[in-house]
């Protein structure tokens, strides 16, 4: 299970059709190891039942300020126990009440009495969103320090199209984590490579590998959560780039090398996660090579070593390498780190990691080995980035959530 610095979230629902998305949001937050306490307005119960949210969260859903479990003041006890309150969906009416400090039900009272960050995900018709009154209320909430997530543009339940849709659950989960993580990498520019490369043989065939890109994309997401400016140079993968990350697509090693060279001068940290093909075909055919009974000989030439190039620059960024080995993991990893003069190298067994959702990493640095026990790749990414922060020694680990 993924681990995070955020432990407890109150997830509040006001009365909008987008409440169906909040069920998936609750599931995604719980998947990240977060305890979710759901609170709903009376109107919200007309769109999704408390029974559904209770089944997903594993906790009784609160719909009234008298549903307190005995404390008598749930608006105080719940807000004090939470690391954040998230309102999704936040209707135009609920936003107006927040902006004016009204507190006539459990959820609005909890928001007024809170001692933690408040995040809201607006959801309404496009004309309601664009109305001057709503925009004044949003401006006031921003001035009060409330974090606004969205809205998105698209087809709405009423059939109209425009700005006002609540963000999708996966996007919301990422944005919530990005806004609540300690910003240990604020102001740091990170450039990383991910995925495989594809070296063409002819118009339809090529040389590639089984890298899924999952580890690199997890690192990009985790770095963004921690406040970094992230550029992700990615080979061909079936993954969506994390929110807030600049994606640069590269099909082959030469394209990836060119993309890195253009951007490396601006980065503080370079992480080479991509499984770059060691060789490419010297003369790929523009047309499909027809099958025959004769043997086919391909001349392969070496691809540039992107990580070695970056590490050898006169004023290199902090360089982190990855090594996927099938045997002699420690020996080969240390040899690679020494040959490229890397301050940090993360190594794993290829047969256990490539394409998998979890992994076990061994970090090698000047102090020795550091084992990151097997867990999901986002957890591994967060742990690796925290280790980078320690090694760089320029940012204290006692960061605070923004």
C-alpha span between 230 and 385 (Å, rounded)? 13
Give, as one character, the DSSP assignment of residue 168: P
Tokens coding 97: 């009440």
C-alpha span between 302 and 304 (Å, rounded)? 7
**Is 158 considered catalytic here?**
yes
CA angle 205, 210, 216 (to 5 degrees): 120
CB-count exposure of residue 101 (10 Å: 0-12, 13-18, 19+): exposed
C-alpha span between 400 and 393 (Å, rounded)? 17
C-alpha span between 79 and 77 (Å, rounded)? 6
3-class state of residue 87 by DSSP? strand
C-alpha span between 129 and 133 (Å, rounded)? 9
C-alpha span between 94 and 41 (Å, rounded)? 10
3-class state of residue 216 by DSSP? helix
Catalytic residue among 111, 116, 158, 319: 158
CA neighbor of 128 nearest in space, from 11, 18, 39 = 18
Helices of type H across 159-250: 169-180, 214-225
Instruction: Using alpha carbons, list the distances in angstroms from residue 111 to 54, 121, 290.
Output: 21, 14, 69
Q: Bridge-partner residues for 364, per DSSP?
A: 345, 369
Contacts of 265 by beta carbon, 8 Å cutoff, 6+ apart = none
CA neighbor of 114 nearest in space, from 200, 9, 185 = 9
Q: Which residues of 69-84 are buried (b: 16+ CB within 10 A; e: fewer)?
A: eeeeebbbbbbeebbb
Which residues are known to be catalytic?
A: 158
């Amino acid at each position: 299970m993924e681990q995070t610095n955020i432990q407890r979230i109150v997830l509040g629902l006001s009365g909008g059709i987008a409440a169906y998305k909040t069920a998936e949001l609750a599931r995604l937050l719980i998947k990240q190891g977060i305890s979710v306490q759901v609170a709903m307005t009376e109107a919200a119960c007309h769109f999704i039942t408390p029974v559904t949210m209770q089944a997903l969260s594993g906790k009784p859903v609160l719909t009234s300020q008298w549903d307190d479990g005995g404390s008598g003041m749930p608006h105080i006890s719940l807000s004090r126990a939470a690391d954040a309150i998230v309102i999704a969906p936040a209707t135009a009416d609920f936003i107006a009440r927040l902006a004016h400090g009204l507190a006539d039900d459990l959820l609005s009272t909890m928001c007024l009495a809170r001692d933690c960050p408040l995040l809201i995900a607006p959801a309404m018709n496009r004309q309601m969103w664009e109305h001057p009154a709503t925009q004044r209320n949003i401006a006031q909430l921003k001035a009060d320090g409330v974090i606004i997530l969205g809205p998105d543009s698209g087809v709405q339940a009423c059939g109209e199209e425009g700005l006002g849709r609540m963000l999708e659950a996966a996007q919301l989960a990422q944005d919530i984590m990005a806004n609540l993580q300690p910003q240990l990498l604020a102001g740091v520019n990170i450039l990383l490579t991910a995925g495989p490369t594809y070296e063409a043989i002819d118009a339809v065939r090529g040389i590639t590998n089984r890298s899924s890109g999952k580890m690199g994309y997890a690192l990009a997401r985790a770095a963004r959560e921690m406040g970094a400016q992230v550029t992700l140079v990615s080979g061909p993968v079936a993954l969506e780039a994390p929110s807030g990350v600049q994606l640069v697509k590269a099909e082959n090693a030469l394209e990836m090398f060119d993309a890195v060279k253009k951007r490396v001068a601006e980065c503080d940290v370079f992480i080479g996660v991509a499984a770059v093909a060691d060789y490419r075909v010297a003369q790929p055919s523009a047309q499909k090579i027809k099958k025959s009974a004769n043997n086919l000989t391909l001349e392969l030439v070496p691809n540039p070593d992107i990580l070695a190039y970056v590490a050898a620059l006169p004023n290199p960024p902090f360089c982190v390498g990855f090594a996927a080995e099938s045997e002699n993991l420690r020996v080969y990893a240390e040899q690679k780190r020494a040959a490229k003069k890397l301050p940090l190298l993360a190594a794993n067994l290829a047969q256990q990691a490539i394409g998998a959702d979890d992994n076990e990493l061994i970090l090698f640095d000047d102090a020795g080995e550091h084992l990151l026990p097997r867990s999901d790749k986002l957890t591994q990414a967060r742990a690796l980035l925290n280790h980078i922060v320690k090694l760089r020694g320029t940012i204290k680990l006692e960061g605070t959530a923004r």
